[in-house]
Amino acid sequence: MKEVTVSNLLEKKRRHEKITALTAYDTPMAEMLDRLGIDLILVGDSVGMVLLGYSSTRFVTMDEMIHHTKAVRRGVKRAYLVGDMPYRSYQTPAAAYKNACRFIDEAGCDAVKLEGGEAVLPVLRFLRKKKIQVQGHLGLLPQSVKPGTPFHLKAKDPLSAKQLMEEASLLEKEGAFSIILECIPYEVGRMVTALVKIPTIGIGAGPFCDGQILVTHDLLGLFQTFKPRFVKPYADLAQRVGRAVATYRREVSNRSFPTLHHSFSMAPEALRQLKRITQSLRHD
């Protein structure tokens, strides 16, 4: 499979071919997603809640994002790699550029992602002027939700839906290569997708977006704390892992693991020599 580029993603939209996107936070998962043909891999700030034990994405730091993105980069050979700019890392164009450069130069990303519409336009404009590719994110913006506050459907009334559509057009105009649409009515997702010429990638935004993204741990049934309605679990690995760990604990406890089959042995002559030279170590 060929390396995925922005041109490939735009062409998929033009041909009405669906874009597949998933999150990754480590090398083994990134290698697997890349090998299986996922188009776009996002190192999301969701890593904070999925792997790091935070109650909100707001607590994720730039250093943590760079650490995980570098690990993902080592596993990605062909997918388009996007790094999620964490909370308060793009408050000004200058700060955004400094941190985006870390994603691009230090971690090897192809692009970065920003949450927000009109408020992030100056940052988007500046980054594009510096030739950095940017993915937008509209609808539910997790970084805007205070810790402990539940997530809610966005753009559910005519005025907020119209505003989201206008902001999507502005993101496109300022050079975003695609837009993630999160937790909005499917009708609005469909209208935004028809409005803009850049790909829309939905997560809880209905089946009419140009592509779909999920948190991979949700897809695999590994994240049990928060189960959004829009997630379809394709496996229940948490249950399978639980059974495996319980079996391991039982077998270690009852001495049925490890057996000699799982062990290494010395050559007979080496063992005889070892016994001779260690006789002096024995105590009567």
Q: What is the mean pLDDT of the chain?
A: 96
CA distance 237 to 193: 33
145 domain residue, yes or no: yes
φ and ψ at 255, to 5 degrees? 65, 20
Provide the number of structural domains found in the chain: 1
91 domain residue, yes or no: yes
CA-to-CA dists, residue 179 to 107, 143, 220, 224, angstroms: 22, 16, 24, 27
Q: State mean pLDDT over 26-37.
A: 98
Identify the domain containing residue 228 by its residue range: 6-239
Of all residues in the chain, what percent carry a pLDDT higher than 90?
Answer: 93
Are the C-beta atoms of 145 and 183 separated by less than 8 Å?
no
> Taken in order 108, 217, 37, 21, is the CA torsion positive or negative?
negative
pLDDT, tens digit, 9 for 90 and up, residues 252-279: 999 999 999 999 999 999 999 999 999 8
218 domain residue, yes or no: yes
161 domain residue, yes or no: yes
Residue with tokens 């063992």: 271
Are the C-beta atoms of 135 and 113 separated by less than 8 Å?
yes
Are the C-beta atoms of 82 and 108 separated by less than 8 Å?
no
What CATH code is carried by the domain that includes residue 207? 3.20.20.60
284 domain residue, yes or no: no
213 domain residue, yes or no: yes
CA distance 109 to 27: 14
Residue 283 banded pLDDT, cuts 50, 70, 90: low
275 domain residue, yes or no: no
Are the C-beta atoms of 152 and 119 separated by less than 8 Å?
no
Residue 282 banded pLDDT, cuts 50, 70, 90: confident
Indicate which residue of 64, 172, 174, 182 is catalytic.
Answer: 182
pTM for the model stands at 0.93
pLDDT, tens digit, 9 for 90 and up, residues 131-162: 999 999 999 999 999 998 888 999 999 999 99
SS3 sequence of the chain: CCCCCHHHHHHHHHCCCCEEEEECCCHHHHHHHHHCCCCEEEECCCHHHHCCCCCCHHHCCHHHHHHHHHHHHCCCCCCEEEEECCCCCCCCHHHHHHHHHHHHHHCCCCEEECCECHHHHHHHHHHHHCCCCEEEEEECCHHHCCCCCCCCCCCCCHHHHHHHHHHHHHHHHCCCCEEEEECCCHHHHHHHHHHCCCCEEEECCCCCCCEEEECHHHHCCCCCCCCCCCCCCCCCHHHHHHHHHHHHHHHHHCCCCCCHHHCCCCCHHHHHHHHHHCHHHCCC
> Taken in order 176, 178, 180, 184, is the CA torsion positive or negative?
positive
In this predicted structure, the answer to whether residue 284 has a pLDDT above a threshold of 70 is no
138 domain residue, yes or no: yes
Per the annotation, the verdict on 182 as an active-site residue is: yes
Look up residue 78 and give its two tokens. 């062909």
